[in-house]
Amino acid sequence: MTGPTTPSWTQRSRLLRLVEDAAAGLYRPQHTIAALRVRGALNLSALNLAWLRLQRRHPILLTSFDPHKPLWRLDPTDPVDLVRLPLPPPADARQALVREAERPFDIERGPLARLVAIPLPDAAETLLGLVVDHLVSDAWSRRILLGDLCRLYDLEIGASTGDLPPAAAAYAGWVERQNDYLESTAGLNLRRKLTRHVLLPDRGPADRGPTDGGTAERRPVGRGIADQGLAGQTDVPRIERQFDVDSYERLLPAAKRFRLTRLQLVLAALDAASAELGDHFPAATIMAVAGRPRPELHGSVGWFADQVAVVNRGRHASPEEQVRSFREAVVTALDSARVPWALVVADTVPEWFTHSMSLPYISFNAQPLRMGPGLRPAAFAGTEIEEFPVHLGRPDGALLTYWSEDDGGGLRVALRYKPERYSEADVLALWESTIANLDRFAESAGRTVGSADG
């Protein structure tokens, strides 16, 4: 596909939010990043040639958007060289990578990806960052891009022969089919159903960004804003907890009994905890879904991931009844996944469309253990790679984001929250209540979870 086309509804929500933020002088990065420590001799000239080939191989990285209409321009711009930063003091290297990860892309001209290399004082080590705007990438796309980059690099230095098979490029067609379905009779019927049942009747005040009602001077989006610094950016408070292997294993009987995964059981416990803590916490959760149901989409780069709202209105004293009610809410949510969350909000609460993730919901993002090998980066020939987490500034997100990662049998949890809404004590109370509900669920299956490490 070439020329301008209609973006997906998820893309449209992000684009219009960028327009509002630009009018208010704000910039909030929403980028995917793979941050790597590469040990071994890395030929940066060969890496640059591989990076140029990668951009041509996946031209979605070279596309651009008109956020004001909005339109997605599929005709690719020219690829760009890797960004090689000068050698910083060792203590500043990671921060230099974060600054490059947060730097805005030129959304209206493209490209929408950059590769950053920072040599470390030890000449045999390099920090590497592959940064892509979320408009055209998700976590699964990052795996595809890194794998292809490693193979192209190996070809450049002669460590392998042959060439890569043609890249899958199904995302633009997927967006077109999604938009067609949403305007079909079946799509419109599902949309009408969701406007009646998905959103809570008592929504509470939305944390909307400043708006000008469309009268302010049109300001470029993703261009020129970097010179103003990251306006409105503050660190997002983050609480991390580790659920030990033994405690996580003891959830298996309850998960099997209730026909849920253990990560879904954690979400069920979080759902019960938010209800127990009353109006202070939302009584519904946005759950991330991968959005790649067909095999032909698995090798395509794009923003397939979306969210569905899990709304469990049933509250029961019995753990068994509580989890069954929650499971029904999950099934209902997944049945509605063909309608993007952004469109559900646009249909139901139009004034909140661009800031849909500021609705009073908790966001639950889970990475099952089976995804780990698929997301783990390959190594460049002659090197070893270690991936490390990079936390960008303050995204426009939910009131509280609950990240759960199944990690070698245990569970790592990170809770990021808006300090203007919650204190650290509030978030810790939510975590402790979640653990208490996991205990209840496990006991109902004849086992006890035990304690979780802080």
DSSP one-letter string for 185-227? HHHHHHHHHHHHHTS-S------PPP--TT-SPP--SSSS-GG
pLDDT of residue 163: 87
Q: Please compute Rg for the chain using Cα positions.
A: 22
The token duo for 440 is 């209840």
The H or E element that residue 434 is part of is helix 424-444
State which amino acid sits at residue 234: T
Angle at which helices 9-23 and 171-182 cross, to 10° = 90
Angle at which helices 139-156 and 44-57 cross, to 10° = 130
Burial 107-124 (b: 16+ CB within 10 A, else e): beebbbbbbbbbbbeeee
What is the C-alpha separation between 142 and 313, in angstroms, rounded? 36
Alpha carbon distance, N-terminus to C-terminus of the chain = 50
Q: What is the DSSP string of 98-145?
A: HHHHHSPP-TTT---EEEEEEE-SSTTEEEEEEEEEGGG--HHHHHHH
pLDDT of residue 394: 57
Query: pTM (2 decimals)?
Result: 0.86
pLDDT of residue 195: 83
State which amino acid sits at residue 391: H
State which amino acid sits at residue 123: A
pLDDT averaged per 10 residues, the chain (length 454): 88 91 85 92 96 97 96 96 84 87 94 95 86 93 93 95 88 95 96 76 43 48 44 66 87 90 91 85 80 83 90 85 92 90 86 68 74 64 88 65 75 86 91 93 72 52
What is the C-alpha separation between 80 and 226, in angstroms, rounded? 19
pLDDT of residue 229: 40
Alpha carbon 234 to its chain's center: 19
Sequence-distant (6+) residues with CB within 8 A of 234 are 393, 394
